[in-house]
Amino acid sequence: HRAYKVVADEVKELEEQNVAIEAKIQKDSDHLYGGKVVSPREVDALEKDIQSLKQRRSQNEDRMLELMETLPPLEAASKAAE
């Protein structure tokens, strides 16, 4: 039962991180394409930040999939132990 909760909590944490990442990507994209950025250096920095955030989001999604695959067996084991 404990292992199931730990894994489920980690999945929830990753989901919450991805919500925050999405918000940051949206904010940076709005800033980048909103016509306010004139410095090539700032454009480059924003593009790199957005790319980094997308990579982190993808890593979180991969980890969430790995964890979700373990949930059914853990749930079954938890029910069997009760």
State residue 77's pLDDT score: 82
Tens-place pLDDT, residues 5-23: 999 999 999 999 999 999 9
State residue 31's pLDDT score: 95
State residue 20's pLDDT score: 98
State residue 13's pLDDT score: 98
**The pLDDT of residue 64 is above 90:** yes
Rounded CA gap, 61 and 59, in Å?
5
Token readout for 21 is 């990442």
**The pLDDT of residue 78 is above 80:** no
Of 44, 56, 47, the C-alpha closest to 19 is 56
Q: Would you say 11 and 64 are in contact if contact means Cβ atoms under 8 Å apart?
A: yes
Q: What is the pTM of this model?
A: 0.85
